[in-house]
Amino acid sequence: MSIAPPPGVYVPAVIFFKDDELDIQAVQSHVLRLARGGVTGILAQGSNGEAQHLSHDERFLVIKTTRDTLNQHGFEKVVVMAGTGASSTKETKLLNVQAKEAGADFALVLTPGVWPRQMSRENILKFHRDVADASPLPVLIYNFPTVCAGIDLDSDILNSLAEHPNIVGTKLSCGSIGKLHRLTTTNPIASFAVFAGQSQLVLPGLFCGSAGVIAATVNLFPKVHARLYKLWKDGKVDEAMKIQEELGHVDWAVSKIGGVTGLKRAVSEFFGYGSFDMRGPWTPAAPEKLVGKEGDQLRKMLELENSISS
């Protein structure tokens, strides 16, 4: 029986390009700022990591760079999770092996969504079980209907998968607190960790027994998320709620500035490293995205981030 990842704050890290090639120096700078910000773990090649735009060699390099950078700067205990979902069982198995070789601790696997009508309940269960059977890494199931052609794994499917000895958790980017609560009240957190997938659901998820969060907005504000989580752990719920109230608005602002593209522009502008360039067919977020109400909300949260000591 594999052990679930430790509870806490995880970040699906964005990556950076320069002249359409990976900017490894910027990736290293980002990994270090996140680690110094107090994250429990870093997810390489999550939905914000542009895995679909990378070759297998590039995916390996990003995972290895993440692990090596953490180890070289005293962050050996920071968990590295790797997104390894692919359109076929065979490729997903290969990506899991490569992720292990690159230094990942866990694999996060999306359900294939190229032909959604082919993904019956039986095929979904078989895919994830076959992948977990062969995986050298403990596996978490990634439920994100937006990037899987609308395929939304229900709690019955996820509870069935939780019985597998090498499936140790799930990231719920579907945003369903009811589903999260059904899963946490069925499965022990030590064997099946349920993570909220959005910053607007950090505290609601914790109230319902989640293991924490794996969320895009942590790319900008790791210290704020770590502070909220610590306040919750310390029983200071009222203080945690004040931060959560602000995070709910900020999370919405991040979605309105363009998601991944807006995040990369904000990281580049706020922290002074990395280009906001994207690999085609995506295009960079316009500078106007950080002007106006959404930009003001992000800069207000940046003030709080900068006020928290590492």
User: CA 191, CA 6: separation in Å to the nearest integer?
Assistant: 10
Choice among 93, 100, 171, 289 that is catalytic: 171
User: CA 253, CA 163: separation in Å to the nearest integer?
Assistant: 37
Phi–psi pair at 170, nearest 5 degrees: -150, 150
User: CA 85, CA 171: separation in Å to the nearest integer?
Assistant: 13
CA distances from 187 to 132, 137, 180 (A): 18, 20, 11
Nearest alpha-carbon partner for 168 in 178, 176, 158, 177: 158
DSSP-derived 3-state class of residue 166 = coil
179 is catalytic: no
Sign of dihedral through CA atoms 154, 53, 283, 37?
positive
User: CA 45, CA 47: separation in Å to the nearest integer?
Assistant: 6
Nearest alpha-carbon partner for 105 in 44, 22, 25, 62: 44
Which residues make beta-bridge pairs with 142? 110, 171
User: CA 153, CA 197: separation in Å to the nearest integer?
Assistant: 14
Catalytic residue positions? Answer: 171
